Structure 1
């Protein structure tokens, strides 16, 4: 895919950039978290362009989240000169749908939109048909091979975890390939960081449940900046020692503070939160780009995280959590 000229993004940059002003800051999210109920939350959300939220009147937070995800998807991909340039952001949704289809098939049930998502690069109904009929003609090559491999392994072992492992590897392989085809260092870097963070989270969790490093080798995602050998060599080391070695990758704080919390309490929340905050710290580089695909990608990730934070906040309000309890789970916003 040839890299587009900067001026080809002039309209998209200006149009999507105007929405950046509506992103919520930390203070804004805390004001939302302090609302006494979902009706009060809706009034705050309207200040940030969310409009009327009938779903919240019925207490259906997930329906509201799905609608906002679809709106976000349509805003970006209806405005871009060519949606392929950010298709890498949609691959996880496509692969999620494939997982749902395969697991439904093995359980003998028909997949529906209860678990399937409509914000992928491939229409979810087409995914259902392609997986059902094993029609790979319009399917990415890595996805095709992953389905064949996952189906074969499941038929021999019956372990649904194999489906997730194989499809996740294919997904991030496709994402990195798509990022590299754009020629944008920002997009390549953010995918590599995603891979590193997923590997690190997996590494820490497997260590805590005392899985052998051979299992980590099985689930390790290739393509990141942190090598497989780094993790294997660190498998028996204290978290503090690993943290020092992760400084060059920007993940020292997450490992040091999060690792300490895990060791003392067994709670992974702080560790995962700090990892995700590092993702957003990288994404903030997009603020300093005015033209091209980078500021649009920055807004994509920023809004995606904001919607995830809204799920946490609104669910917290619904179940009666305090603002302080909610804040412990929130990720650092873009603004």
Structure 2
């Protein structure tokens, strides 16, 4: 696929971008004195919901996910290479597989947690988990489900659903990146996997997890070998960051997350930095007429828009101060 093949898609995207929430929209929502006032602002931006029902149920997730699912469905239908959309949709597929596997392993009814976003239908994913056999799904996805089922059958570990799906998600993500074969996409996926490994390593060390656990949960698909990360982890998170991350373009910003007094890493700030770095990577192509980056930029913006709306609505419902909400906001498209 040549970059010019995205020209038609990117022309359509420019019209979609006009409907994204602006900083002025967010400002009005943040300054709203109540949940009702914030919903009144949102109602004029293209989101459809029953305001009275939402105020009573506080089920923000339902209408937000419905809106996002429609966005993904439309983009899958107009994009010449579905893998580009899958770069962001894939995490929903693996979320759904986690839910379905946990449902199979525990016997609980968990289907209310499924999200109808992804290349593969919920019906096909259900069949895959029920039978262990796939048809049109990606081989990596099928292998991940089969390995999770095998592990549970042998050791009866319900957590196998999460461990295997996280591992195979990044393996699948790397496969998509290799197929697209675009330098900016490769750079973005490298960052996503490397920073996931770092965040997971830091959290695991705080919980005193054994080395065997680290070998299981860390991804082998990043630009830094997980064996190297684990070997260096005996010297602490800051040592890992100095040795393997300081030379990266975002190395200095990572170093700023280390507390001078405790020498520990603030994982909440690390999660926010991941968003900021992804935003910067996709922003490189926002105004290019060709290639996959404008599509990724729009998708990232839409994802963060949903995150910000959820944050504000929950905040207004719980009477959280405006300044606290502003500090927790994710990057705004084009800002």
Q: Root-mean-square deviation (CA), in Å?
A: 2.6
Distance 1:190 1:225 in 2: 11
Alignment match, 1:126: 124
Q: Deviations over 1:85-125 (max 9, x none)?
A: 4223222211221211111111224452x111111111112
For residues 265 and 204 of structure 1, do their structure 2 counterparts lie closer, same or farther at Cα, with a shift above 3 Å needed? closer
Alignment match, 1:301: 300
Secondary structure of the residue that 1:287 maps to in structure 2? coil
For residues 134 and 317 of structure 1, do their structure 2 counterparts lie closer, same or farther at Cα, with a shift above 3 Å needed? same
Distance 1:12 1:157 in 2: 48
Aligned length: 331
Structure 1: segments with no counterpart, 5+ residues: none
Question: Following TM superposition, by how much is the alpha carbon of 1:224 offset from its aligned partner in structure 2, in angstroms?
Answer: 1.5
Secondary structure of the residue that 1:174 maps to in structure 2? helix
Tell me if the contact between 2:201 and 2:214 (Cα under 8 Å) persists in the aligned partners: yes
Structure 2: segments with no counterpart, 5+ residues: none
Tell me if the contact between 1:99 and 1:167 (Cα under 8 Å) persists in the aligned partners: yes
Alignment match, 2:35: 38
Tell me if the contact between 2:106 and 2:158 (Cα under 8 Å) persists in the aligned partners: no
Alignment match, 2:136: 138
Distance 1:281 1:101 in 2: 34
Distance 1:117 1:333 in 2: 24
Q: TM-score, normalised by structure 1?
A: 0.88
Secondary structure of the residue that 2:173 maps to in structure 1? helix
Choose between structure 1 and 2 for higher RCO, CA contacts under 8 A separated by at least 6 residues.
Answer: 1
Q: TM-score, normalised by structure 2?
A: 0.88
Question: Following TM superposition, by how much is the alpha carbon of 1:138 offset from its aligned partner in structure 2, in angstroms?
Answer: 2.3
Q: Deviations over 1:126-161 (max 9, x none)?
A: 211222133322222112222221112112222222
For residues 267 and 191 of structure 1, do their structure 2 counterparts lie closer, same or farther at Cα, with a shift above 3 Å needed? closer
Tell me if the contact between 2:229 and 2:240 (Cα under 8 Å) persists in the aligned partners: no
